[in-house]
Structure 1
Amino acid sequence: MVGSANLNIMIKAARKAGRSLVKDFREVENLQVSMKGAGDFVSRADIAAEEILKQELMGARPTYGWLGEEGGGEDGQDPTRRWIVDPLDGTTNFLHGLPHWAISIGLEHKGQIVAGVVFDAAKDEMFFAEKGAGAWMNDTRLRVSGRSRMIESIFATGIPFAGRADLPETLQDLARLMPACAGVRRWGAASLDLAYVAAGRYDGYWERRLKPWDLAAGLIIVREAGGFAHAIDENGDVVEDGNVIAANEAIFDSFAKVIRS
């Protein structure tokens, strides 16, 4: 798989930030014994990773805009292109020593996501896609699952925490979905939930109130792997609304019906 210059820049940046985070992750495991300080340490790791990504991406493409989870947004000289970056998706997992977190980099051109990279550095799984060139994990071409029966399918979601207002909605979703499927997973990293739909590991995924940097890279990876990814509100814009429903083509309609009802 030979990607464009931009995709190669994104992959290189993700690997560099990934090395830094893996080193910090090993340190977090040592910090588990004293809870005091682990949270601050992870915040620093997160900011350091964003700085690496910014140096690499903006260094290579200084005219592009930037939207990052930590540093916020900046307009570039080129108003049509921007990087959308989450340096550490799955912070709570990282803090608890759970090896399920990722770096997410999306490239937007004229309002459309044209390339995406989701790097699971702990497992060395690099998911990436470019418009029209398919989706990949390392050297393997990705395809969404072929399951067409809800009862054989597993779905992923994020369950709102710490008193977020959308908890009742999610509990209603679960009450409708769980009797109709083979299981629901909550693994705590939206970018990897999308990447796993693309890889056929999950049959579908839905979540509300996400941010652009949670979604940007994963959306194109799902679509390039032959999956559907849309807003929960049928007329909505996924990235702007932050409400997403993604699945393989065969199951999308039945799954969407459950979530949208």
Structure 2
Amino acid sequence: MSEQQNASVVGSKSFTAVAINCAAKAGEWIKTKLGNYASLDIKYSSHDLVTEVDKGSEKLIRSLVLTHFPTHSFLGEEGVEPGPEASVQALADVREAEYLWIVDPIDGTTNFVHGFPFFCVSIALAYKGEVIVGVVYDPMKDELFVAEKGKGAYVHGKRMQVSGEETLRGSLVATGFPADHHYALPMNLKGVAAIAPQVRNLRVAGSAALHMAYVAAGRLSGFWEIGLNSWDLAAGALLIAESGGVVTDTSGEPYHLGVRNVVASNGKLQDELIGALAKAGAIG
């Protein structure tokens, strides 16, 4: 094992323990605030909301992470200005960091605001641009999805495996309605129109990170969405990869931190799903 590889593996247990602890503490606090937030602001569009609970959750996670690893870099959604350009720039500013924590303090804020119980805390750690730890925690169901690179992915302490469906026709697939109403939303709606008639059914539940965790757990066969960010995808991408699935961009290129248009599946559906989106002109 090379020295670089060793650097990413030796501390992985403590990294994962910190990620789990942060997600659990933030999730517990978020749950106490359900229906009890004080302020609601619109960021980029009416689909893109933020409350003081999002900001408080991120502050809590950042503080805990930097207490344990003060030299590490941190990228959190609420520390970034709204809009696609700002998101791209924020990642570019820290992408070369040796250790980078990538955090969505509440993925599914709109659901949280309405009391719809489908939201989560998403925490990933990248080592030199490669995700090595991914944690997604659903406080409403008390479900913790955890992955370490090369060590598998788990929920309820049991190893996860992607579903076995081999065609879109027999599959349950998820997507989202992007906050960017100018470009990403119309593009994704083209995909919805194309994919919905080809699958067993389609789900739009409002949290990309949880959708990806569900792909990893075999509850969904696939997921795609246009215009996402690194904090939406990083943890979920590792969960899926470590459960035997595949995550690429909408052109079929391998996942990396800069991917914004994503397709994820059990692997067996990947080419068919990408092909259907491409035929509809919906790959972004």
Same fold by TM-score, threshold 0.5 exceeded?
Answer: yes
> What is the Cα deviation at residue 228 of structure 1?
0.2
SS in structure 1 at match of 2:102: strand
> What is the Cα deviation at residue 173 of structure 1?
1.4
The within-5 A match list for 1:98-109 is 98-109=116-127
The within-5 A match list for 1:1-261 is 4-27=13-36, 39=40, 43-72=51-80, 79-161=97-179, 163-235=181-253, 238-261=256-279
> What is the Cα deviation at residue 212 of structure 1?
0.7
What letter corresponds to residue 31 of structure 2 in structure 1?
V
Cα distance in 2 for residues equivalent to 1:80 and 1:127: 24
Q: Deviations over 1:152-190 (max 9, x none)?
A: 101100123573322332222122212211011100001
SS in structure 2 at match of 1:177: helix
What letter corresponds to residue 264 of structure 2 in structure 1?
A
What letter corresponds to residue 205 of structure 2 in structure 1?
W
Query: Which portions of structure 1, spanning 4 or more consecutive aligned residues, are displaced by more than 3 angstroms?
Result: 72-76, 234-238
Q: What 5-or-longer segments of structure 2 have no aligned partner?
A: 1-11, 42-48, 81-89, 280-284
What letter corresponds to residue 193 of structure 1 in structure 2?
H
SS in structure 1 at match of 2:189: helix
- The residue aligned with 2:7 is none
Cα distance in 2 for residues equivalent to 1:168 and 1:16: 37
Q: Deviations over 1:107-154 (max 9, x none)?
A: 000111111000001110001101001011121211100111221101
Change (3 A) 1:166 1:213: same
What letter corresponds to residue 11 of structure 1 in structure 2?
I
SS in structure 2 at match of 1:249: coil
Change (3 A) 1:237 1:226: closer
What letter corresponds to residue 172 of structure 2 in structure 1?
I
TM-score by length of 1: 0.89
Cα distance in 2 for residues equivalent to 1:70 and 1:82: 16
Query: Quick check: 236-245 or 50-59, which moved more?
Result: 236-245
What letter corresponds to residue 157 of structure 1 in structure 2?
T
Query: Quick check: 234-243 or 167-176, which moved more?
Result: 234-243
Cα distance in 1 for residues equivalent to 2:255 and 2:157: 32
Cα distance in 1 for residues equivalent to 2:255 and 2:151: 23
Conserved 8 A contact 2:73-2:99? yes
Percent identity of the aligned residues?
37
Conserved 8 A contact 2:145-2:213? yes
Aligned CA-pair RMSD = 2.1
